Amino acid sequence: MNEIKIKETIKFIRHIYSSGNNEFIPLHSPKFFGNEKKYLNDCIDSTYVSSVGKYVDLFEEKISSKINSKKSVAVVNGTAALQVALRLAGVKKGDEVITQALTFVATTNSIIYNDAEPIFLDVDLDTMGLSPKSVSNFLEEYAEIRDDGCYNKISGKKISACLPMHTFGFPVHIDKLISVCNKWKIPVVEDAAESLGSYHKDKHVGTLGKLGVFSFNGNKILTSGGGGVIVSNDSDLANEGKFLTTTAKDPHSYEYYHSKVGYNYRMPNINAALACAQLENLDLFLKSKRKIAKLYIDFFDSLNINFRKEVHNTKSNYWLMALELEDLKARDYFLKKTNENKIMTRPVWQLMFNLPMFKTYFKDSQKNAIYLSERIVNIPSSSILI
């Protein structure tokens, strides 16, 4: 991108966000214009700010009906949700989990927390998410099915889950991915942390695999301060998720008896109250995002700059808007110039196998992941009131 186009871009972003020349424009900031204060005050007035209170159940019901999933379990953050979802899917110590290297570190960390190992397979160029083709190629070459599931013939380890991530809200080719994984008897856990409001055909992402996970961190499309949710259409799995995330305490009116090593991962009532208020405005947030995306599309198309758009048969929530620049040099220059001008932009994450703790794990060619990592940047994407 040349100097003139960068200047035009900065001007346009300031125009979208109606901001003065010296104001900092963040990548993504939360918006509170609904019942947030009312519900938070209700928590304080009632003294139920912590592990007891009505908002957790209410939020779980609301999110289930919003995305059309049978059950939801609200937890402290998206990372914890991923960790427990993998355990629920059957991931055990020494297993392998197929995932993508182009992701936020929490995806990979959640595998390690289960004492399992990531297998990094390449993404598709169009979705920026795990490629069904690379998964299929890997399994054809390395995998065999035994009585109790799929095994890696070379390492001898069980491949007990596949963990794709819907990058920036753009759905992966989830139907193809699930059909590959079904063939190999591998359960799919969707990292939909960034993708509340994104659809594959008429189904909400996160509800197509065995389990799905969303995050409500401060930078996501909705926030509960901190929070996450595990969703599933399998009630037994979700109930086990509730049990494990609430210290695995057997139900009893006063006795403390725990039959497993559980976690204290329950979402506090005060966070759930915030989440309930935010969820009421999800449709407005989505509308606003779509409007901004449309403005960006028209602008960047006119400059002949590649603004990343949703792919056929999918609907993106446009959580983080992204540009694909010509090459690494163009990317770095764009990042430098925009940040110098107080417009927050950033490159896509470092590929996981380049981080010191994940260097030794298996990876395939990573051709597309490397290509994208040298070109993709995020630009300001906060909702505006419309």
Are 361 and 118 in contact by the 8 Å Cβ rule? The answer is yes
Q: Is 169 in the site for ligand PLP (CB under 6 A)?
A: no
Q: Does residue 53 belong to the site contacting ligand PLP (CB under 6 A)?
A: no
Closest alpha carbon to 30 in 226, 250, 231: 226
Residues 300-359 that bind ligand PLP (CB under 6 A): none
Quick check: helix, strand or coil at residue 374? coil
Among 75, 139, 162, 193, binds ligand PLP (CB under 6 A): 193
- Residue from 64, 103, 114, 345 that binds ligand PLP (CB under 6 A)? 103
The reply to whether 84 sits near ligand PLP by the rule CB under 6 A is no
If the CB atoms of residues 168 and 184 are measured against ligand PLP, the closer one turns out to be 168
Which residue has the closest beta carbon to ligand PLP? 78
Shortest distance in whole angstroms from residue 258 CB to ligand PLP:
25
Inter-axis angle of helices 174-183 and 132-142, to 10 degrees?
10
For residues 351 and 102, is the Cβ–Cβ distance under 8 A? Answer: yes
102 contacts ligand PLP (rule: CB under 6 A): no
Please pick, from the candidates 9, 69, 72, 79, the single residue that binds ligand PLP as defined by CB under 6 A.
Answer: 79
Chain centroid to CA 15:
29
Task: Return the range that interacts with ligand PLP (CB under 6 A); candidates 71-79, 252-260, 337-345, 372-380.
Answer: 71-79
By CB under 6 A, residue 217 contacts ligand PLP:
yes
Q: Which of 78, 209, 225, 241 binds ligand PLP (CB under 6 A)?
A: 78
**How many residues contact ligand PLP, by CB under 6 A?**
14
Nearest CA to 58 among 247, 286, 275, 212? Answer: 275
- Please, what is the angle between helix 3-16 and helix 282-303, to 10°? 160
Nearer to ligand PLP, 1 or 228 (CB): 228
AA identity, residue 178: I
Residue 137's CB: how many other CB atoms inside 10 A? 16
Contact call for residue 282 and ligand PLP (CB under 6 A) = no
Nearest-5° angle of CA 369, CA 171, CA 67?
150
Question: Which residues is 151 bridged to in the sheet?
Answer: 144, 158
3-state helix, strand, coil in the chain (%, to 5): 40, 20, 40
- Binding-site member from 134, 136, 215, 338 for ligand PLP (CB under 6 A): 215
Task: Quote the DSSP letter at residue 124.
Answer: P
Q: How far is the CB of 214 from ligand PLP (least distance, A)?
A: 9
Among 9, 83, 99, 107, binds ligand PLP (CB under 6 A): 107
Asked if 190 interacts with ligand PLP (CB under 6 A), we say no
- Which is closer to ligand PLP, CB of 151 or CB of 170? 170
Q: Contacting ligand PLP (CB under 6 A), which of 25, 106, 128, 372?
A: 106
Q: Can you spell out the DSSP letters for 345-358?
A: -EEPPPPGGGSGGG
For strands 189-191 and 71-75, give the pairing. Answer: unpaired
Q: Of these, 48, 55, 104, 358, which contacts ligand PLP (CB under 6 A)?
A: 104
Q: Half-sphere exposure (CA, 13 Å, Cβ side) for 303?
A: 22
Q: Pick the piece of the chain touching ligand PLP (CB under 6 A) from 7-15, 62-70, 72-80, 265-273.
A: 72-80
CB 73 within 8 A of CB 229: yes
Contact footprint for ligand PLP (CB under 6 A): 77-79, 103-104, 106-107, 165, 191, 193-194, 215, 217, 228
